[in-house]
A and B are shown apart, each in its own frame.
Chain A
Amino acid sequence: MSVSVGTLALAGLLGTPVIGALLLAAIPTYRVAAGLNMILCAITFASATLLYSHRPEPSLYLLVDDLNTVFLIIGTLVGFTTSLFSAGYIAHELQSRKLRSRDLRFYHALYQFLMFSMDLALVSNNIGLMWVAIELATLTTVVMVGIYRTNAALEASWKYFILGSVGIGLALFGTILVYLAAQERLGEGMPAMAWDRLAAHSAGFDPALLNLSFIFLLLGYGTKVGLVPVHAWLPDAHAEGPTPISAVLSGLLLNVALFALLRFRLIMAGNPAVLSPGPMMVTMGALSLVFAGFMIYRRRDIKRMFAYSSIEHMGIITLAFGLGGPLANFAGLLHMAMHSLTKSAIFFGVGYISQLEGTQRIADIRGLTQSEPLLGWLLVVGAVAIAGLPPFGIFTSEFLLVTSTFARSPWLAILLVIGLMIAFSALALRLHGLAFGETVKRHALPAWRLAPMALHLGLVAIAGIYLPGAIVAWFRHVATQLG
């Protein structure tokens, strides 16, 4: 019985967004479309949670295991809450004539298609299929980033397109090399691309080929994670696209690319003769952390600032997974979950702020706690959470990471702490101007529109104060598997 429930849930997870995309492409009224978009995301989220307890049998193409259910549940949750936020956000964009209703039809269909491709990338057991799914997700977001058709949006979209294409090109070359390494052991054809077989048999693969492949994969998928030095597309894409897409990019797509890297890291881990992928990931992670910290100082655009903060946090997560070991992996998983929730909440807030104030320039926005108290204070809470202050979940994961790093390589821990401090002070500096100060403006935003943001921040706060035992056990289990 449990098998068939699992299969149904998997079909729901992948089928709902595809059917949804087709339906939404046909619906002209945006209110109906936005409503349907929410319902579809809710169904997808429900299917993902169902997959946690009911796993279908793995096939050569699809696989549901402990690792990807974590990513799936977080991803579909953020997808769902973003669809709630998006409904209010696009209504305003339509009123202010930044988007036409024809664009919105397109937008909703693409939103569902994006959900489909990300879910497919997460559940695929085939490294070729995973690559195809990530390519699809990239293409979809490229189109969505350029949807405003302003010069800046087109430039961002073009830059993302070119860099994203180069990234996926490199990742494909890496994938081909993995196939070549596996082909001698597993024979030609599909089995040599099935991830579970690759991970189980990687001890017999040619280590030199695996080493080379990981370098390509790290650079290729690392582009999509937004790791320095291949991050250049990320701030532009976040700043110039519609804000729901910024939220989905930061909360979801970066994680999916990181997930792909983790999959390959597990293949590498099975072979004792290969270079350890850890130090490479740690180097790129630490570089991203410190670089992004400095870049946050110089930003004048509020979305761009938080985009750099995403690079910083992806750096932290990559560093944690690169370090490895149960504790650091646990910290990495927790940090990833917390960052997804917090950063998408912040982008929800930033989306409303830029709509109310009519600008994204930090210098032009001040006194938010006076002009729109609820939104202003939620932004303060979000920024405090993302900066890594207690009592929020990000503090917990950063604390865990710093302590486990201190125990193993103190110098790295010092670098980590310096990076965190830089980003923290930069955020505090900018936040002060945004949230406080005198202003005569007064806005009235219906409180329910802030519900998704409040929900995310509430979850992050709860996780910081008390992390339920079930989640701890689940994450710990996955962390041990990650090695």
Chain B
Amino acid sequence: MTTLDSDIAHLLAGSLVLVSFLLLYQDRMFALLNVFALHAIVLAFSVAWQAHLQHAPHLFITALIALLFKGVIIPAALHRIVVRLGIHRTIETVVSIGPTMLFGMGLVALSVVVMLPLTQSAGAFVREDLAFALSVLLLGFLMMVTRRNAVSQVIGFMSLENGLVLAATGARGMPLVVEISVGFSVLIAFLVIGIFLFRIRERFDTVELQALDMSRGESE
């Protein structure tokens, strides 16, 4: 692998982390969907580059799934759902965006600190790729935790999953990557269909504690 090859791979993986931050920053639903489409497209390029470097043509399938399914179909479907359910205005956050971004930076630092010294024996490239992947994963978590709205939780989950695909393709010659990415797509399709069929707007959160207790079967 030449320096340029790995530089391009790093550029693409690093952009994925950057786009993850963009996701955290969005406070409008449609913008969030667009940024997620960008996330998926960057992932598709990154995976395709790995497929090219590793001479692993089957990874192109994973890249294609990322591009078409997560980059086009899912954002379009979510777009329609958002319009139908009338939730396009703002995204309710549990923690405001400033502290979330700071926390996200902390998470990226954490994954770099954890991954770089740990994987001494693995190749330098794999090591950095894993650090990026873990960052994307943790930022996806952060998004799931700090958002109330079901659609943005799903987007958080999908960005988390993009991090996993990045890690899996970075691990040279890992079997079942394509199968796993197909499996994830099925899972996401389920999620989206679930939101649509059952009109899940929020995590059923309510300010009335009594109502919450009732639904948990804990009130007298």
Contacts and interface: CB of A to CB of B under 8 A. Distances in A.
A128 B200 contact: no
A183 B218 contact: no
Contacts of A162: 144, 153, 157
Interface string B105-122: 000000000110111111
Contacts, number: 125
A301 B217 contact: yes
Contacts of A172: 164, 168, 180
B220 A165 contact: no
B217 A169 contact: no
Which applies to chain B's interface (DSSP): helix, strand, loop or mixed? helix
B176 A132 contact: yes
Contacts of B168: 172, 176
Contacts of A446: none
A97 interface: no
B91 interface: no
Contacts of B180: 128, 131-132, 172
Nearest to A142: B190
Interface in A66-103: none
B137 interface: yes
B218 A188 contact: no
Given A139-B187, A165-B157, A172-B180, A180 B126 contact: yes
A361 B134 CA distance: 44
Interface in A156-173: 157-159, 161-162, 165-166, 169, 172-173
A206 B215 contact: no
A152 B217 CA distance: 10
Given A132-B176, A173-B167, A183-B172, A301 B215 contact: no
A176 B122 contact: no
Contacts of B187: 135, 139, 165
Contacts of A152: 215
Given A162-B144, A173-B164, A300-B220, A180 B119 contact: yes
Interface in B170-220: 171-176, 179-180, 183, 186-187, 190-191, 194, 198, 200, 203-204, 215-220
Contacts of A151: 204, 215
B119 A206 contact: yes
Given A135-B187, A176-B168, A169 B137 contact: yes
B119 A149 contact: no
A128 to B, nearest CB: 4
A299 interface: yes
A438 interface: no
Contacts of A139: 186-187, 190
Contacts of B167: 173, 176
Contact of A363 (B157, B176, B220): B220
Nearest to B153: A162
B128 interface: no
Given A129-B176, A298-B218, A180 B150 contact: no
B30 interface: no
Interface in A295-351: 298-301, 304
Interface residues of B, number: 47
B99 to A, nearest CB: 21
Contacts of A176: 164, 167-168, 171, 174
B75 to A, nearest CB: 19
Given A151-B204, A165-B187, A206 B122 contact: yes
B141 A161 contact: no
Interface residues of A, number: 50
B217 A239 contact: yes
Contacts of A360: 217
Interface string A130-163: 0110010001001100100101101101110110
Nearest to A168: B187
Contacts of B172: 183, 188
B160 interface: yes
A193 interface: yes
B200 A154 contact: yes
A187 B175 CA distance: 12
A115 to B, nearest CB: 19
B157 A166 contact: yes
A469 interface: no
A139 B219 CA distance: 30
A183 B157 contact: no
Nearest to B213: A300
A126 B183 CA distance: 16
Interface string A168-211: 01001100110110011000111001000000000000101101
Interface string B135-164: 001000100100000100100010011001
A193 B175 CA distance: 8
The 10 closest A-B pairs by CB, nearest first: A188-B173, A301-B217, A128-B176, A208-B118, A155-B204, A206-B121, A190-B175, A176-B167, A180-B171, A152-B215
Given A162-B153, A206-B122, A212-B118, 16 more contacts: A126-B176, A128-B180, A129-B176, A132-B179, A135-B183, A146-B194, A155-B203, A161-B191, A169-B164, A176-B171, A176-B174, A183-B174, A193-B174, A209-B119, A209-B121, A211-B118
15 contacts: A131-B180, A132-B176, A154-B204, A155-B203, A162-B144, A179-B171, A180-B122, A188-B174, A190-B175, A193-B174, A206-B122, A209-B121, A301-B218, A304-B216, A360-B217
Interface of B: 114-115, 117-122, 126, 130, 133-134, 137, 141, 144, 150, 153, 157, 160-161, 164, 167-168, 171-176, 179-180, 183, 186-187, 190-191, 194, 198, 200, 203-204, 215-220
